[in-house]
Amino acid sequence: MSTQEASTGVDSIAKISLHGNRPKPTLKNGAIGVFRYELMRSLTPLRILLWVGLLLFPVILVSFVQFSLIQGGARGEDFLGLTIVLFILLPEVITMLCMLLWATPIVNAELESQTWVYSVVRPKARWAMITGKYMVAVAWTASCTSLSTSLCVLVISMSGAWKVWITLSCLCWLSAICYGALFMLIGTLIQRRAMVIAFFYAIFVEFILATIPAVINQFTFSFRLWSILYNSIDIPKDFLDANFMIQDSSTVGNVAVILAASAFLLSVAIWRIQKSQFRWQSEV
């Protein structure tokens, strides 16, 4: 706003006028805009380092295990065990860690930087924010875990590696989709301490409740992911002596349940944000 510009301000204001032809707010443009913006923000040295670290950690771990197995004259079953370890590491632990970082603070991060108000006062911006941030969380996490899976499978070089790679890669994307939606919902329901709540939720529900031999464990994503793993790879049912953790239903059925549940959780998160009232910080 130089003095010259200020003196011709009315003209300038006329110049920026759209004469009422404002674009209609669309979820597509909004979500793509948020996706691009958040992805750009994720490309900081620290976050890239974290991404690489999470990617390489399973590879290094598997390499050591592989080395010790070969030294000890490993059998086929041992390599199967390595697949299980990879499953626990990638679609479970690392995916949940990434989602704790990306999906859970969805609202709180905006509140802390005092930028949530800009989304609140635009017609479809809340939807776009949730959707765009969810897409980034899934892309960031699944790209890390699926690439790590590829490297790990290369390192293991077991028989049937192709099938293991396909299954684990799909599971990485599926788990990113479902845990992303789940943690995002937690982040919208409990905005201030979402990470703590999500962490304990993951421990008690997805790790402990999922292993309880009762119907209730079928309501966890972990149960569905285990079932897909067992049904897709030729793992003997008594391999882990934990039949209650899996279900013989078709892989398609389990995938459908995961996708439907994710869509439901994401819808609830959007509904919750759309209906919530925003308090300016000075008034809270």
Partner 1 sequence: MITLHHTTLLYGTVIGINDFQIDLPVGAYALVGPNGAGKSTLIGLLTGAIKPTLGSVSVFGIDPFRDPSVLQRIGLCPASELLIHGVTSRQWLRLQLALSGWDSRKAMARADMILELVGLKDAVDRPIHTYSLGMRQRCKLAQALANDPDLLILDEPFNGLDPIGRHQMTELLKQWAESGKSLLLASHVLHEVERITNSFLLVYGGRLLAFGTAGELRTLLAGIPQEITIRTRSMDELASRLSRMPWLRSLQRDNLQNQLHIAVETPLELYQQLVRWTAEEGINIEQITGIDGDISSLFRLLVSKHRGEVMMTGVMS
> Closest separation between CB of residue 8 and partner 1, Å?
9
Under the binding rule (CB under 8 A), the answer on residue 135 touching partner 1 is no
Under the binding rule (CB under 8 A), the answer on residue 162 touching partner 1 is no
Under the binding rule (CB under 8 A), the answer on residue 124 touching partner 1 is yes
Under the binding rule (CB under 8 A), the answer on residue 29 touching partner 1 is yes
Under the binding rule (CB under 8 A), the answer on residue 49 touching partner 1 is no
> Closest separation between CB of residue 109 and partner 1, Å?
11
Structure tokens at 120: 């609140």
Q: Please tell me whether residue 73 adopts helix, strand or coil conformation.
A: coil
- 202-207 long-range contacts, CB within 8 A, separation 24+: 202/96, 202/100, 206/92, 206/96, 206/179, 207/92
Contact partners, residue 207, CB within 8 Å, separation at least 6 = 92, 222
Interatomic CA distance for residues 58 and 89, integer angstroms: 7
| Helix 161-189, helix 76-87: angle, nearest 10 | 20
Q: How many residues bind partner 1 (CB under 8 A)?
A: 52
The upper half-sphere exposure of residue 19, i.e. CA atoms within 13 Å in the direction of its Cβ, equals 1
Under the binding rule (CB under 8 A), the answer on residue 215 touching partner 1 is no
Under the binding rule (CB under 8 A), the answer on residue 112 touching partner 1 is yes
Task: From 2-10, 87-95, 216-224, 226-234, give the range in contact with partner 1 by CB under 8 A.
Answer: 2-10
Chain-centre distance for alpha carbon 109: 17
> Closest separation between CB of residue 11 and partner 1, Å?
9
Under the binding rule (CB under 8 A), the answer on residue 113 touching partner 1 is yes
Contact residues toward partner 1 (CB under 8 A) are 1-3, 5-7, 9-10, 12-18, 22-26, 29-30, 32-34, 36-37, 40-41, 44, 112-115, 117-125, 128-129, 277-283
